[in-house]
Amino acid sequence: MDHLLHATSRTFALTIPLLHEPTRREVTVAYLLFRVADTLEDSTRWPRPRKLQELEGLARYLEAQGQRRQPEQDAAAALAAGWTADPPLEHAGYLMLLAEFPQVMSEASDLSPEGWRIIATHTARTCRAMAAFVAREEDGFLRLRDLEDLKAYCYAVAGIVGEMLTELFLLGCGGLAPVASDLRKDASAFGEALQLVNILKDRAADAVEGRHYLPGEVDRAEVFALARRDLRTAAGYCSRLSRAGADRGMIAFTALPVLLAKATLDRVERRGAGAKLTRGEVNEIVARLHEALDQDAVSALLDPEQGGAASLEGPARKGPE
């Protein structure tokens, strides 16, 4: 599973190993299943009807398997065979994941029944939510209409992920019960924040492949401002985990993406789409986080007033310039 993780992700390959068991294994399986759904949605080779068919097929399979203690391997193998015989795209890591889908499902059979039901239910939800946007594609192109449409898309592909992770955290840490309602309230905004940063960073490359996630009539400054508001909500989510006594791994897993997203957003706003953090800058942010964890000072690191990792290129700002 770790090999597949490194072949398909940068950020999650950094953050998932920070988690403690059994949450680490649950989140690994969950990430890989959501990545399968993303790969079907992002197909550059299949026509729209095929993408809709495959997303619905995966959703139905997961809904059925979510009620079983041992996921059905023959059905998983049949899905994988169809995907690999006529691949949806050319990314080597994603194609490896599609081929290894039965192995991912085998790993799922070792999860707790409660954890597996959470993962299967939410992955099926995102498949159907993604399909609603695929159905709107014209000649292989998706264009979002306005800011609310953008938010709805972010919820479909990332907000549901935040909701699923929150349920897995609550399952793995009974001490979080007093803050459960607050965590659930902020979970989708957390996912939206990270997705907005990715959309702003990757907008040029996405446009080449026919994905226009930034509505033409929406001022880019408005999208940057929304991303910053969501990142403040995400920082509050992490701080709430810390105050409630979550373990170090869970705090690190949630805090690191926020710190990386803050720094990336500043970089993109100053330098434009495609700008990325260097490996050295990422390592610096990781080191800052571990130092803050050692000092029980993660909330101060995440607080925009403290600068944190968002200040790689100068003082942190509360909104777009």
Q: Which residue ranges form the domains of the chain, and what is each CATH number? A: 1-140 (1.10.600.10), 143-321 (1.10.600.10)
Q: Is the pLDDT of residue 259 over 80?
A: yes
42: Cβ contacts below 8 Å, ≥ 6 apart: 88, 89, 209, 211
Identify whether the C-beta of residue 133 lies closer than 8 Å to the C-beta of residue 153.
yes
Question: For residue 314, what pLDDT band results from cuts at 50, 70 and 90?
Answer: very low
Mean pLDDT of the chain: 91
Question: For residue 306, what pLDDT band results from cuts at 50, 70 and 90?
Answer: very low
Identify whether the C-beta of residue 168 lies closer than 8 Å to the C-beta of residue 115.
yes
pLDDT for the residue 69: 63
pLDDT for the residue 185: 98
Question: What is the rounded CA–CA span in Å between residue 293 and residue 310?
Answer: 18
**Could you tell me the pTM of the whole model?**
0.91
The single-letter code of the amino acid at 4 is: L
Q: Is the pLDDT of residue 315 over 80?
A: no
What's the mean pLDDT in 79-102? Answer: 97
Half-sphere exposure of 63 (CA within 13 A, CB side): 11
pLDDT for the residue 321: 28
279: Cβ contacts below 8 Å, ≥ 6 apart: none
What's the mean pLDDT in 273-280? Answer: 91
Q: Cis ω on the peptide bond leading into residue 215 (within 30° of 0)? A: no
pLDDT tens column, 155-174: 999 999 999 999 999 999 98
pLDDT for the residue 121: 96
Q: Is the pLDDT of residue 283 over 50?
A: yes
Query: Which residue carries 């479909």 as its tokens?
Result: 156
What's the mean pLDDT in 80-85? Answer: 97
Question: What is the rounded CA–CA span in Å between residue 155 and residue 160?
Answer: 6
pLDDT for the residue 169: 98
DSSP secondary structure string for all residues of 158-213: IIHHHHHHHHHHHHH-GGGGGGHHHHHHHHHHHHHHHHHHHHHHHHHHHHHTTEE-
What's the mean pLDDT in 204-218? Answer: 82
Selection from 16, 9, 6 nearest residue 256 by Cα? 16
Identify whether the C-beta of residue 18 lies closer than 8 Å to the C-beta of residue 259.
no
pLDDT tens column, 16-52: 999 999 999 999 999 999 999 999 999 999 999 999 9
Q: Which residue has the higher pLDDT, 218 or 69?
A: 218
pLDDT for the residue 320: 32
Phi and psi for 173 in degrees, rounded to 5?
-140, 95
What's the mean pLDDT in 48-64? Answer: 96
Q: Is the pLDDT of residue 316 over 70?
A: no
